[in-house]
Amino acid sequence: MGMTMTQKILAAHAGLKEVKAGQFIEADLDIVLGNDVTTPVAIKEFNKMGAKTVFDKEKVVIVPDHFTPNKDIKAAQQCKMVREFATGMDIENYFEVGRMGIEHCLLPEQGLVVAGDVIIGADSHTCTYGALGAFSTGIGSTDMAAGMARGKAWFKVPGALKFELIGKPEKWVSGKDVILHIIGKIGVDGALYKSMEFTGEGLKHLSMDDRFSMANMAIEAGGKNGIFMVDEKTIEYMKAHSKKEYTIYTPDADAEYDEIYVIDLSTIRPTVAFPHLPENTRTIDEAGEVKIDQVVIGSCTNGRMEDMRIAAGILKDRQVAENIRVIIFPGTQDIYLQCVKEGIAEVFVKAGAVLSTPTCGPCLGGHMGILAPGEKAIATTNRNFVGRMGHPESEVYLSSPAVAAASAITGYITDPEKL
């Protein structure tokens, strides 16, 4: 039996001719990633192991992005610990405030990840890099510590689900709508410990930013990873951002999939995930009139340049509805600067929105935009669990930047077509 994309990457990094689903392997790592929340725990475990140096100063990447700029004394202590470790270990890819971005937006932009890589990160949304044809997955801080010390990690080879994308999406349908549609279809455990592999002629209609959004949310379906076939758009992106050599892996014709889904992009409508799970999806036509208090546009799911442009296109020459708070945070400093250059920053401010430094803060209820009891937010983030963005009695609705921006104008969850 042939191998999937993921299985081929893992076999190559384990020094094996082939691997099968369920097999345990030890694989070499190309990147070990941590942030300001998870790295302090990893550092403690690293020291307990008696490790003295990291395996590769270029391949350990640390991005303090969750609670930075520091939100309180504890966050400051965590970041100080991470900073001192990065300096002491001479880690080259340490991104402090002023250079930092949201980690899963920053690494591809900086050219640190390419097709064929194996990446582990002490953050569940590390699966984002599958958009580039890499195997990337979230792990715990203990595994991060071992990875930093040894440059290797143990994996159980995942089985796979194949998503064959066909058709062309309508104007206001983005990668976020596609992945919400898929999660609504298969459920939050529909891909449990499986590789979600995206192929098909419909890929040509999805931008790289669409693909990053989709791979990012593979974990919300329980997936071990999400991964896209490498095509001309992928290669163009890698050449523009990275000097690293890449390796393209394609699935064998007889690769084994647990399920094969055909997704017709032309039939998908803008989609919203209602509280309190990403699988609780409704099309914009089924959403009804839901009054909101806050709009959040950004995150590692939808904080990229294309997302900023879409939101700005809707907000331009319009005003945010009365009593609606709108927080927009670009994914990286470069994206922030591009917003300034293109006049997008001015559009946001004139519309009545807050334009923030890159941070994960609002997404996880960490800081900036915490919800009070009974408040409702529509967000371009990736999770809407109970209490995700604040009080347990608040509610989070997940959407694309287009739907979020349209909702900011009306004060209700709104179809951008109807503005």
pLDDT of 362 > 90? The answer is: no
Pairing of strands 271-273, 281-283: antiparallel
How does residue 336 score in pLDDT terms, banded at 50, 70 and 90? very high
pLDDT of residue 368: 86
Phi, psi of 20 (to 5 degrees): -130, 155
pLDDT of residue 228: 98
Which residues have a Cβ under 8 Å from the Cβ of 341 and sit 6 or more positions away?
none
- Flag whether the pTM goes above 0.85: yes
- Give, as one character, the DSSP assignment of residue 251: -
| Residues 165, 130 contacting (CB under 8 angstroms) | no
List, for residues 29-53, the tens digit of each pLDDT value.
999 999 989 999 999 999 999 999 9
pLDDT of residue 98: 85
- Give, as one character, the DSSP assignment of residue 89: T
What is the rounded CA–CA span in Å between residue 328 and residue 368? 11
Give the mean pLDDT of 376-397.
92
List, for residues 205-229, the tens digit of each pLDDT value.
999 999 999 999 999 999 999 999 9
pLDDT of residue 100: 85
**Which has more pLDDT, 367 or 237?**
237
List, for residues 227-276, the tens digit of each pLDDT value.
999 999 999 999 999 999 999 999 999 999 999 999 999 999 999 999 99
**Which domains, ranges and CATH numbers included, belong to the chain?**
5-15+23-264 (3.30.499.10), 271-418 (3.30.499.10)
What does the CA dihedral 227, 228, 232, 235 come to, rounded to 10 degrees? -10
List, for residues 289-326, the tens digit of each pLDDT value.
899 999 999 999 999 999 999 999 999 999 999 999 99
List, for residues 78-117, the tens digit of each pLDDT value.
999 999 999 999 999 999 888 889 999 999 999 999 999 9
pLDDT of 121 > 80? The answer is: yes
pLDDT of 390 > 90? The answer is: no
List, for residues 50-73, the tens digit of each pLDDT value.
999 999 999 999 999 888 888 899
Q: How far is CA 6 from CA 43, 92, 138, in A?
A: 29, 28, 15
Average pLDDT of the chain is 95
pLDDT of 199 > 90? The answer is: yes
pLDDT of 1 > 80? The answer is: no
